[in-house]
């Protein structure tokens, strides 16, 4: 199954959705704002990527967190944060066959879908 995870109004996600359509790739879109991020999905992301890769430390949501939460971040606390604040998850995340990609790098994505 092919899935794209993100937030519909994110500019990068919009760009990726258009790009995937141009490539003729069908996918299910999981919008965190509408569907959330349950603990199972958060754990799946953390199995595929390093914690520091999954958490978006550049966004407003991260900057608004208390310093104590930021400095004590670990896998368990990250799962809780990701379920409560899905905007903290770097986007997009793409699951294609057995491959997982995070962030958009066109060359990397092309190599994944057209090996």
Helices (H), ranges, the chain: 11-23, 32-35, 39-48, 51-54, 60-64, 67-71, 75-84, 106-113
Ramachandran area for residue 10 (φ above 0: left; ψ -120 to 50: alpha; else beta): beta
- Helix, strand or coil, per DSSP, at residue 65: coil
Active site residue 37: no
Catalytic residue among 10, 25, 65, 73: 10
Give catalytic residue positions: 10
């Amino acid at each position: 199954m092919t899935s794209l995870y993100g937030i519909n109004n994110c500019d990068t996600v919009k760009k990726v959705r258009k790009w995937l359509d141009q490539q003729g790739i069908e996918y299910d879109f999981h919008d965190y704002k509408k569907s959330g991020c349950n603990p199972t999905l958060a754990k799946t992301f953390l199995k595929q990527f390093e914690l520091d890769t999954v958490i978006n430390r550049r966004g407003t949501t991260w900057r608004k967190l208390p310093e104590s939460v930021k400095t004590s971040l670990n896998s368990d606390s990250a799962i809780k944060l990701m379920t409560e604040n899905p905007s903290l998850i770097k986007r997009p995340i793409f699951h294609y066959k057995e491959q997982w990609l995070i962030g958009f790098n066109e060359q990397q994505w092309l190599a994944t879908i057209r090996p």
